[in-house]
Structure 1
Amino acid sequence: MDQPTLRALLGRRDLGLRLISDERTLPDGALDLPLRWVHSSDLADPTPFLADELALLTTGSQFDTADGVHAYVRRLHERGVVGLGFGTEVHRSGIPDELIAACAALRMPLFEVPYDTPFIAVARAHSEAIAAQAYARRTWALDTQRALAVAALRPRGLFATLTELARRLERWTGMFDAAGVLVHEHPQGLLAAADAEVLAARATDLIARGGQAGQSLTLGSESYTLFTLGRTGHLRGVIAIATASLDAEARAVVTSVIAMAGLALEQNEQFARRRRRLHAQVLASLMLDDPTLARRVLGSLPHAPIVVAVADADAPVEALEEWWERTRTDAGTALFGASTDDGVVMCASAEDAGVFDEIAERFGIRLGVSEPDGYAAFSRAHAQALAAQRHGGTGAVRYADTVASSILSAFATDEARLVAEARLAPLRAHDGLEEALRVWLQHDARFEQAAVALGIHRHTLRTRIAQASALLGTDLSTFPARAELWAALQTVR
């Protein structure tokens, strides 16, 4: 039911009220402002006894002069009276011209109350409208609470509840998660990209403060009200509603949704912790190259051949899990994930391997990705993904690409570098000796070509190689010695 207004009061046929002012000359929406009460008075200055958003009824017995009429109307206008009703044929026949002129000058709505309509009837009609509107709002609130309770029982109950709230409020409603990402909105696509960016930043700021709070802001012509979810110091997200304010009934409904959402998110976190432990145990069984237990526990797995990926240990696990669930539900992409000490392990069918590029880009993390294989080789695929992840680079790094670069890079550990540096230490006391060895080995131990590359005589190079052989205590004429030396040079490099 619409809120009681002066227009609604004038529309009551049983009262016979008639608008005297030309609506075209009134301020925009002047007849549609909230009308809180109707009062009657013939005091020359009733303003000390009036409230805002009130319509005043008078018979005009207090009007002595035209100047007094203008001052009277000005006082009412400044006090916030939204309309003036004049009771005709009581003290005066018709409405005084000076009153009509004063109301027109100050753009105050003026209406006639006919002699047969008592002022008390006008006040009673308006009070009945207020009571009816209050009853309608309470009924709306009860119906809305029931609808929200039903929505909470649907799949993805939290999002279903927010959608129902948006429908009942007839306002855009969105939810931002703890990372400031818009995870749900209704209706979809109505929020401008610029507004979404500002709201996300404001939501992140509210969550960072850690205290339960509400906040309003205006972006262009649209106003929004934001409410935090979760308990103080442990906020879970923010609900945003495209409205500048809410009446008592709507605020009560929103408060209940906030409580439901906070509880749902808390339960979701507890469930997520249990699921992480379960997935870690399932991953341990997959590492035995036997998917039997995993299928019994999970019901299904990505179909083979599969690709395994490993993310950094500091990857945002919660955000990844939420994204996995949405992707699995919305796009039907089968994904399995678990957290380990080595990082976040993910598994997808080879045909869906492109999802790892999307994950790396979306979350700004580095992923190592294995070659396609079956579950019987899961541990090998995991080792490949881990090696690719540790290889370096950005985004999703494929194991096949790292192998193509050099097998020696796989052995370039910190321990290997220490051993290589110790092995080559005798050479570094002599300028140019290490470089001479490197160029010589690069040219397949051919003195002529290596000497040309170094810009020295071949006999000089032979002398340097003999010196290096003596310093290292090894015979560089043999292939194993040359291979070991080359590996050391590549490792320290």
Structure 2
Amino acid sequence: MREVDVPTTLRALLAAPAFHLTLLAGADPASPVLDEPLLWAHNSDLLDPTPWLQPGGLLLTDGMHLSADSDPVEVDAYVGRLVESGTRALGFATGIIHDEVPAVLREASARRGLPLLEVADRTPFMSIIRHVSDVLAAEQRERLESSLDAQRAIARAALRPDGLGAILTELERRLDCWVALFDSIGNRIDVRTRIAMPAEAEVVVEDAVRAALARGNRSSARVIVGTDAVTVQTVGQRGRIRGALAVGTAAPLDAAGSDLVASVIALASIALEQSRTVETARRQLRSGLLELLLAGVIDVAGRTAQRLGARLPEAPVRVAVLGAAVEGQSLLDELELLAGEDAGRVFVAERDVEVVAVVGAEDGGALERVLARHAMPVGFSAPIAWDELPRGLTEARQAAARTRPDQPVVRFERLADEGMFGVLRASGADSVARRLLAPLLALPENERDMYVRTATVWLAHNGAWDPPSKELGVHRQTLRNRVTALETLLGLDLGTFPARTELWSALHLLFPTPSSPH
């Protein structure tokens, strides 16, 4: 904000010929005390005026309560009370009651360090009081006008086409500061400003921003970085925090500066809210594009995506399906940013309760890093062409179903390497196998294991009798009896190939052996 007049000082009053002031004691002529601003000037001849005084002023007196014979102890106590109240100086009039300032007062002032001024030539106290008041009023008026001018400039900047960048640039100019805007997940928003954030401040400010955003409500924090006082304030309303603004100044913000930042926060909130509305519309359009792609209308979807600035990745591509429900807005916001930053390499859309991404066959790294930060598992299809998207979506779902905490990323090729059983397990065939083998699973463990072992060895020998009997160490009739009992238990005719295949598959899904597919 532009420079404004400051309140007058003792040095300024001493230099003004009209007031006939002389420094007698309590401060050296070069003392910085003389440059402290005066916040008021008033007169009083009370022995103890301090109950009615505030710090920072000049007290004027005719000395009616003092004389050359005054008790030094009482005078010292009088001066001490003024010092303790924060009074800047005492002005003593001569030529009215006293021809000169009593020595006892000069000594007490020198001892206590209270500047003592002689007010000579019958200078009216009112002229001094009025001068100080006028300077204070002018300063307050100038600050108010400066603040209003700054507010108007910020409002005008908001009307420009690049409103968000314009108001931040205007804030920089008015406060002679640097500013940085962050989105709701703590990423820096690329808004063109005049002054860059100092490199040494980046980590500290980013940590402060993320801490403020994590609280999820409106908040303000202040950190010191080098010579800068950095104020971090969230943007938005409780439960709908849209980001944060960091303002770095050489000194803490005064009231006018804080008001100006508050105005910028309000305007930035509106801008980011409008941006969020646009993002929501874009997400809905991308969901529509995904439906077109799944329906095979690829040319139309591709041209529409280009108009939206959401170019589709070049084939071959992989389809990715998130392996868990998305809770909260943070991950969706980051995926939205990723889709915008990596347009042409990442396409993200929501489909019912699913979040589906399509990436270039070799471009899944950025997506994986985002999901890893949120501990979100993901399944990828094998590389496909765009017209194979429905198959890719099915493969991605099957891969997502096989994710685990220790294996958060699964590609369909891994399931293919496991053979048909990998695909069956990914499609939920385990539950079908449990229903088929339910009577067997209900048996006592030793009996169940005996039947599982018998059936596995018998089926491995293609339903022959002698080789499995020898391997199991039982008589061939005993083997026949066990197989017959198993047929009755499961309701299967194991003399047929389909029934044997069904049993063999169910056994290997639920009781895989080292030599079986798993």
Establish whether residue 262 from structure 1 lines up as the match of residue 269 from structure 2.
yes
Secondary structure, counterpart of 1:488 in structure 2 = helix
Within a 5 Å distance, the mapping from 1:204-215 to structure 2 comes to 204-205=214-215, 207=217
Aligned equivalents of 2:160, 2:370: Cα separation in 1: 28
Aligned equivalents of 1:34, 1:398: Cα separation in 2: 72
Of residues 351, 364, 368, the one that matches 2:379 is 368
Aligned equivalents of 2:296, 2:170: Cα separation in 1: 46
Contact 1:225 1:240 in 2 (8 A): yes
Secondary structure, counterpart of 1:352 in structure 2 = coil
Contact 2:325 2:353 in 1 (8 A): no
Contact 2:5 2:142 in 1 (8 A): no
Within a 5 Å distance, the mapping from 1:223-262 to structure 2 comes to 229-230=235-236, 236=242, 247-262=254-269
Q: Which residue of 2 aligns with 1:15?
A: 16
Q: Which residue of 2 aligns with 1:386?
A: 397
Shift of 1:285: 0.9
Shift of 1:72: 1.8
Q: Which residue of 1 aligns with 2:49?
A: 46
Shift of 1:233: 6.5
Aligned equivalents of 1:248, 1:274: Cα separation in 2: 39
Contact 1:176 1:203 in 2 (8 A): no
Shift of 1:122: 4.0
Secondary structure, counterpart of 1:81 in structure 2 = coil
Of residues 81, 91, 109, the one that matches 2:87 is 81
Within a 5 Å distance, the mapping from 1:414-425 to structure 2 comes to 416-425=429-438
The residue type equivalent to 2:84 in the other structure is E
Shift of 1:358: 1.3
Shift of 1:451: 9.0
Within a 5 Å distance, the mapping from 1:56-455 to structure 2 comes to 56-58=59-61, 60-64=63-67, 65=70, 66-86=72-92, 98-110=104-116, 119-149=125-155, 151-152=157-158, 157-158=163-164, 161-162=167-168, 164-165=170-171, 168-170=174-176, 181=186, 183=188, 187=197, 191=201, 197=207, 200-201=210-211, 203-205=213-215, 207=217, 229-230=235-236, 236=242, 247-299=254-306, 300=309, 301-305=311-315, 306-312=317-323, 314-315=325-326, 318-324=329-335, 326-327=337-338, 334-394=345-405, 395-412=408-425, 416-428=429-441, 429=443, 430-437=447-454, 440=457
Map Cα deviations across residues 208-253 of structure 1 (whole Å, 9 max, x no partner): xxxxx66677889998777665456655556566799755533442
Q: Structure 1: state its 5+ residue gaps.
A: 208-212
When structure 1 is superposed on structure 2, of 307-316 and 433-442 the one drifting more is 433-442
| 345 and 32 in structure 1: CA distance in 2 versus 1, 3 angstrom threshold | farther
Which is greater in Rg? 2
Shift of 1:361: 1.9
Establish whether residue 467 from structure 1 lines up as the match of residue 482 from structure 2.
yes
Shift of 1:311: 2.2
Aligned equivalents of 1:182, 1:112: Cα separation in 2: 62
Aligned equivalents of 2:467, 2:182: Cα separation in 1: 66
The residue type equivalent to 2:449 in the other structure is G
The residue type equivalent to 2:502 in the other structure is E
Secondary structure, counterpart of 1:4 in structure 2 = coil
TM-score normalised over the length of structure 1: 0.76
What is the aligned-residue identity percentage?
A: 30
The residue type equivalent to 1:409 in the other structure is G
Aligned equivalents of 1:164, 1:101: Cα separation in 2: 54
